[in-house]
Structure 1
């Protein structure tokens, strides 16, 4: 049964009461379940499907101060044709760049079906005024971004100022227009699993289309127990409201084994209907090459040399 939660954020008191009324997370239980699911064995045929699915879910990312238009164009070419020698390799889901490089990515990806995502809102700290965050978002959207990855103000959240975080997410969502909003919780700074659950619900209540673990700039980033908790949150949110929200673990996912562990987690927690790029993404800069090497190993029986694929 779906239930409206429209009045939950009507005041500081009701919002706090709702978030602190969520069921507590059994830390030991979450750790053990994530560890158990990570041991699932994937056979050859299923592994080939899982690798292609993971490739299609990758947000190929470059978020460095030294990024250039040329680097972005090269990354976009790889996003569309991850292995130029094998046209059967699926394209990735999106390319994620800083706002000032969105226009370069849009031009490079025109007609490809690969989305352009942009970090905004004073990434990665989130420490700026709401006016600056909204303006940052509006500039990226005006340049053609399909998706905005915003960061919450962790200081406000940890201080219990949930209303400020809610209002900021809602304002950025409004500035997104038709673009989708991915809300980064930076779970490595939230200290407890209960806070991860509360932050997940807070972001969804404020309008997030995706909830994302991390910026990739803080450790720990996308741990399996944290992703499990976020998947439980989107599952329960859909049961409560009927609205679907995606999940994006990001940071520290480097190998095919890491990716497949996450896919198993999705299937067993949120369900098979989340196994699509519209509902699950993998934020990574180095994962794609390992997926390509493992794919080639399954296809040809041998690994490519270390210089076969471009370095991102």
Structure 2
């Protein structure tokens, strides 16, 4: 059933109606989701298609550093790699964005000026999300003022698991307003949501609240991104567009380490949501460690020589 603006407004008009809608969503067939994801992961692709897939995956990477020991110098080095992943080969595409803590956004913006690479910031008390709303919004506004083009916020999983969907909804709405023109990526932290049904509900909750992207994980909690969880989220964005006409992106993050892993996700996107999502505008890989392997596999395909990890920068 199609949902127009009035239909969405009716759903979110009260805590009771929002809860009723979310718990009225069809349940996820756990075995079915796992089997379908496993089956799609066995798909093989030809050499020419693999070359295209590698370049596409590189262009979808959110190159990230989120450590307490991050320094301006580390961020500048990462930005140089984001803009020119392989300095010896200018045909390698740039990555989508660089993602840093909010206090390093200005440094990243300066380093990336004129490159076409965006800057994302994990505002809103990343990774736990346990902070007063006014502190989360202040962090978001600062990052946007410093030039962030995307904000990755974390939901309050405690509130969600306690059934306080309205609190989570209101925080997403407020953060979206604080973003201004910047895109909002909402991190569900699926490893703490326990069930696929909760992943589906959290996906719809985030989209109803205005998320531009839904993201699996912070990368700080295990398990992080998995193919079955991403399948459930891709089904959610597909169904959401079919019912509302609005397209929302998906970003699996954490645990994606090899070219083979990245290609499995691209196959999953194509077969679940469809080719409309196979662009950096609508699908991202939150996996900095995968970039080096993508570059090594790309060089092997183009030159026949496998350079090995010693020929790549450390992230």
After TM superposition, the score normalised by the length of structure 1 is 0.99
Match of 1:242 among 241, 245, 258: 245
Partner of 1:200: 203
Partner of 1:56: 59
Q: Could you tell me how far 1:189 is from its partner in structure 2?
A: 0.1
Q: Could you tell me how far 1:7 is from its partner in structure 2?
A: 1.6
Partner of 2:114: 111
Alignment of 1:29-40 (within 5 A): 29-40=32-43
Distance 2:274 2:207 in 1: 19
Match of 1:229 among 227, 232, 236: 232
Distance 2:9 2:267 in 1: 33
Partner of 2:217: 214
Partner of 2:3: 3
Q: Could you tell me how far 1:309 is from its partner in structure 2?
A: 1.1
**CA offsets, 1:124-174, max 9 Å, x none?**
000011111111100100110000000000000000000000000000000
Partner of 2:78: 75
Q: Could you tell me how far 1:302 is from its partner in structure 2?
A: 1.6
Tell me, what secondary structure is at the counterpart of 1:126? coil
Tell me, what secondary structure is at the counterpart of 2:9? coil
Tell me, what secondary structure is at the counterpart of 1:286? helix
Match of 1:163 among 161, 166, 181: 166
1:92 paired to 2:91: no
Q: Could you tell me how far 1:210 is from its partner in structure 2?
A: 0.0
* Aligned length, in residue pairs: 312
**CA offsets, 1:252-285, max 9 Å, x none?**
0000000000000000000001000000000012
Contact 2:218 2:254 in 1 (8 A): yes
Distance 2:118 2:236 in 1: 25
1:309 paired to 2:312: yes
Match of 2:183 among 172, 180, 184: 180
Q: Could you tell me how far 1:2 is from its partner in structure 2?
A: 4.2
Unaligned runs of at least 5 residues, structure 2: none
Partner of 2:144: 141
Larger CA deviation: 110-119 vs 301-310: 301-310
Contact 2:292 2:309 in 1 (8 A): no
Tell me, what secondary structure is at the counterpart of 2:119? strand
Unaligned runs of at least 5 residues, structure 1: none
Tell me, what secondary structure is at the counterpart of 2:253? coil
Partner of 1:154: 157
Partner of 2:19: 16
Q: Which 4+ runs in 1 deviate beyond 3 A?
A: none
After TM superposition, the score normalised by the length of structure 2 is 0.98
Distance 2:146 2:312 in 1: 30
Distance 2:50 2:288 in 1: 21
